[in-house]
Amino acid sequence: MAVLAVRVWPDPVLSRVAEPVTESAAARGLAADMLDTMYHAQGRGLAAPQVGVSLRVFVMDATWKEGTPAPQVFVNPVIVSRSDVMATGPEGCLSIPGITTAIARATAIRLRWTDLDGIGQEADLTGFDAICAQHEIDHLDGIVTLDRLSPEARAKAEAEYLA
């Protein structure tokens, strides 16, 4: 268990498409370190590329700040379907500290992944979980919030970030 350094944009690892995990159990140590790192950074979600590891793993805990920790680990996650209903809300990112950006996301998704025992899982996510999972899977595809903004909004966000 260890707190890892969080890579900040524009670190090139954040723009790389992450590789699939071939053996889930091998990701156990990484996932534990990622959860430590996420809690330490006061975050609710963290993807492996954010700690410099280009593998398809993310962790999430929507409720720990309210006093009920519920750590979840997603290996090789795939969005099977997404709702047509979209909502735009402010998103922060531990790799782009200090700013939030307004991002449109599907309000509900069906997610398929493998757990650390190598067992396939599938669930419908809504609310914060759905938005967070989409944000983290973007990281696995080398996409950050800035990439989802209009050119004008991106220029404004980058200026704010770099200021």
Give how far the C-alpha of residue 132 lies from the chain's centroid of Cα atoms, to the nearest Å. Answer: 6
Residue whose beta carbon is closest to Zn ion: 93
User: Please, what is the Cα angle at 42 between 140 and 66, to 5 degrees?
Assistant: 110
- 22 vs 53, which CB is nearer to Zn ion? 53
The interface with Zn ion within residues 57-96 (CB under 5 A) comprises: 93
Contact 116, 28 (CB under 8 A): yes
Give min distance, CB of 117 to Zn ion, in A. Answer: 26
- Residue 116 is a binding residue for Zn ion (CB under 5 A): no
Catalytic residue among 23, 136, 152, 160: 136
> Which helix or strand (DSSP H or E) is residue 28 part of?
helix 28-40
Site string for Zn ion, 91-110 (x = CB under 5 A): --x-----------------
HSE at residue 159, side-chain half, CA atoms within 13 A, is: 6
Place of tokens 């996510």: 125
136 flagged as catalytic: yes
Q: Which is nearer to Zn ion, 91 or 106 (CB)?
A: 91
Applying CB under 5 A, the residues found at the interface with Zn ion are 93
